[in-house]
Amino acid sequence: MDHWRRGGLVVRDADLEDLDAIAKLECDSFPEDQVSRRSFAYALRASKRPVIAATIDGELVGYVLIALRKGGRSARIYSIAVDPRFARRGVGAALIAAAEKFAYRHEREALTLEVRYDNGPAVALYEKCGFRPFGVHEDYYADGATALRYKKVLAPRAPAGAKRSGARKGGGPRRS
């Protein structure tokens, strides 16, 4: 993944140097249902680099962990967190956009996630980013709460050698 900046926000592949900050943010964000430090360390060593970090002035302010199942057609946002001090500043949307690019790069057709039913701000963000509900998981979280399942279909890849211009056979614009 390339680094990119927007107003001081840098989104990049996470690395092992980010492990302490990611593990702390995970623990602070999710008191009961947490990805273990060991699992993050494993993901940070993985060849596909499925952990993306968001930083501001060198400080980790968010991350997203993406799961890819071998042979699967979709990627899954397994965990995403933003430091509350940086909430509602575009960090979550930037991480979601990076997750979409990651999924697309790995030739996935969709991106899925689960979100706690009562997490209104997260639900609003996912819907704003184009995710649509497609199911529920009852008793999903440690406290018995329900998870809402969301999915975003990604733009299909053009076949190799195909033109992306939008021109159609016979020329001229499509008529409605």
C-alpha span between 115 and 108 (Å, rounded): 21
Instruction: Say if domain 4-111 classifies as CATH 3.90.550.10.
Output: no
Rg for the chain (alpha carbons), in Å? Answer: 18
pLDDT digits (tens, 9 = 90+) for 75-114: 999 999 999 999 989 999 999 999 999 999 999 999 999 9
Q: What tens digit of pLDDT does each residue of 112-135 get?
A: 999 999 999 999 999 999 999 999
pTM above 0.85, yes or no: no
Predicted local distance difference test score (pLDDT) of residue 165 = 46
**Contacts (Cβ under 8 Å, ≥6 apart) of 121:** 87, 88
**Greatest Cα pair distance in the chain:** 60
- Give tens-digit pLDDT for 26-69: 999 998 889 999 999 999 998 888 999 999 999 999 999 999 98
> Residue 67 is which amino acid?
A
Report d(CA 98, CA 50) in Å as an integer.
11
Ranges of each domain in the chain: 4-111
| In contact, 10 and 95? CB cutoff 8 Å | no
